[in-house]
Amino acid sequence: MTTWNLQGTTSHLLICNGSSCKKHKGEEVAEAIEDEIEKQGAQSLIHTTVTRCNGRCSDACVVISYPEGVWYKEITPKSAKALVRKHLQGERLKDNVLYAYEDGKLAAASESGAKGKKKK
């Protein structure tokens, strides 16, 4: 088992590779994220973990970003690369946000404006 030095890491991407997400190219999504992190020279900033099912199979492929606590849906290998680039700019891949923390609680993007815009 590998032991990573996480000092200096700014974020953690959890990439679902449960069976439903694998059917929706979850392994390719993980590979695309790793490739883009390397391309952007961000290996020391973004840590990734491939997970089992996160309980949102109908939204496959799911990627979760911490510490901001954003759950992304329907990530493809192409959008995975965009997600990494947006993430490094401190932005979200708005069209794929499923849930995000609002006032300390996860809120559905469609209900809360969690796509990056605060409700007024």
Cβ atoms within 10 Å of 69's Cβ, excluding its own = 15
Comparison of 37 and 72: residue with beta carbon closer to ligand FES: 72
Using CB under 6 A, which of the segments 36-44, 47-55, 77-85, 111-119 binds ligand FES? 47-55
Of 13, 15, 18, 109, the one binding ligand FES (CB under 6 A) is 18
Q: What angle do CA 62, 6, 56 make, to 5 degrees?
A: 15
CA distance 102 to 120: 13
Comparison of 57 and 82: residue with beta carbon closer to ligand FES: 57
Site string for ligand FES, 57-96 (x = CB under 6 A): x--x-x----------------------------------
CA distance 67 to 58: 24
CA distance 72 to 65: 8
**Which residues form the interface with ligand FES (CB under 6 A)?**
16, 18-21, 53-57, 60, 62
